[in-house]
Structure 1
Amino acid sequence: MQLRLDLQFFAGEKTEKATPKKRNDERKKGRVAKSQDVNTAFLLLFVLIMMAVFGSFMKDNMLALFQHTFTEFIHWDLTEKNVFQLFKEIMLEFAKIVGPVMIIAVVAGVGSNLMQIGFLFTTEPLKFDLKKIDPIQGAKRIFSLRALVELLKSFLKIVVIGSITFFVIWLFKDDMLMIAFKNAENALAFFARTTLIMGIAATIALLFLAVFDYTYQKYDFEKNIRMSKQDIKDEYKNIEGDPLIKSKIKEKQRQISMRRMMSEIPNADVVITNPTHYAIAIKYDEEKASAPYVVAKGVDHIAFKIREIAKANNVITVENRPLARSLYASVEIGEVVPEEFYQAVAEVLAYVYRMEKKV
Structure 2
Amino acid sequence: MADSGQEKTERATPKRLDDARKKGQVPRSIELSMAAVCIAASAAIYALGRGTAGQFAELMRGSLSLTAYEAVGDDVIWPALTDAGGQAILLILPILGATFLAALAAPLAIGGWNFSSQALMPKFSKLNPLTGLGRIFSARGSVELGKGIAKVVVIGLIATVLLKGLTSQMLGLSSEPLNSAIGHSAALAGYSLLVLSCGLVAIAAVDVPFQLWQHSKELRMTREEVREEYKESEGSPETRGRIREAQKALARGRMMQEIPTADVIVTNPTHFAVAL
| Bin of the TM-score, shorter chain as denominator length | 0.7 to 0.9
Query: Are 1:131 and 2:125 matched, yes or no?
Result: yes
Q: Which amino acid aligns with 1:291?
A: A
Query: Are 1:291 and 2:262 matched, yes or no?
Result: yes
* Residue aligning to 1:114: 108
RMSD of aligned residue pairs (Cα, Å): 3.3
Distance across 2 between alignment mates of 1:128 and 1:164: 41
Q: Which amino acid aligns with 1:101?
A: I
Partner residue of 2:36 out of 26, 31, 42: 42
Distance across 2 between alignment mates of 1:74 and 1:183: 28
- TM-superposed CA distance for 1:173, in Å, is 3.0
- What does 1:171-186 align with in structure 2 at a 5 Å threshold? 171-177=165-171, 180-186=174-180
- TM-superposed CA distance for 1:131, in Å, is 2.2
* Residue aligning to 1:85: 79
Moved more, 141-150 or 236-245: 236-245
* Residue aligning to 1:322: 268
Query: Are 1:96 and 2:90 matched, yes or no?
Result: yes
Distance across 1 between alignment mates of 2:103 and 2:192: 21
Relative to the length of structure 1, the TM-score reads 0.66
More strand by proportion, 1 or 2? 1
- What does 1:243-262 align with in structure 2 at a 5 Å threshold? 243-247=237-241, 253=246
Would the alpha carbon gap of residues 64 and 190 (structure 1) be closer, same or farther in structure 2, given more than 3 Å must change? closer
Q: Which amino acid aligns with 2:35?
A: A
DSSP 3-state at the match of 1:99: helix
* Residue aligning to 1:207: 201
Distance across 2 between alignment mates of 1:114 and 1:199: 24
Relative to the length of structure 2, the TM-score reads 0.83
Would the alpha carbon gap of residues 75 and 125 (structure 1) be closer, same or farther in structure 2, given more than 3 Å must change? farther
CA contact (8 A) 1:283 1:293 kept: no
Would the alpha carbon gap of residues 147 and 177 (structure 1) be closer, same or farther in structure 2, given more than 3 Å must change? same
* Residue aligning to 2:162: 168
CA contact (8 A) 2:9 2:221 kept: yes
Deviations 1:16-37 (A, max 9, x none): 1111111122122222222111
Q: Which amino acid aligns with 1:13?
A: E
- TM-superposed CA distance for 1:104, in Å, is 0.8
Distance across 2 between alignment mates of 1:139 and 1:118: 30
CA contact (8 A) 2:22 2:118 kept: yes
* Residue aligning to 1:357: none
Distance across 2 between alignment mates of 1:77 and 1:197: 38
CA contact (8 A) 2:33 2:103 kept: yes
- TM-superposed CA distance for 1:50, in Å, is 1.3
Q: Which amino acid aligns with 2:162?
A: V
* Residue aligning to 2:52: 58
* Residue aligning to 2:64: 70
- TM-superposed CA distance for 1:210, in Å, is 0.8
Distance across 1 between alignment mates of 2:156 and 2:134: 31
- TM-superposed CA distance for 1:212, in Å, is 0.7
* Residue aligning to 1:155: 149
Larger radius of gyration: 1
Distance across 2 between alignment mates of 1:25 and 1:144: 25
Would the alpha carbon gap of residues 254 and 67 (structure 1) be closer, same or farther in structure 2, given more than 3 Å must change? closer
CA contact (8 A) 1:284 1:293 kept: no
Distance across 2 between alignment mates of 1:83 and 1:67: 14
Gaps of 5+ in 2: none
Bigger RCO of structures 1 and 2 (CA < 8 A, at least 6 apart): 2
Would the alpha carbon gap of residues 235 and 283 (structure 1) be closer, same or farther in structure 2, given more than 3 Å must change? closer
Deviations 1:178-224 (A, max 9, x none): 55555544544454343233212111221122111101111111111
- TM-superposed CA distance for 1:127, in Å, is 1.5
* Residue aligning to 1:238: 232
Equivalenced residue count is 274
CA contact (8 A) 2:29 2:207 kept: yes
Gaps of 5+ in 1: 1-7, 265-279, 295-319, 331-336, 339-359
- TM-superposed CA distance for 1:147, in Å, is 0.7
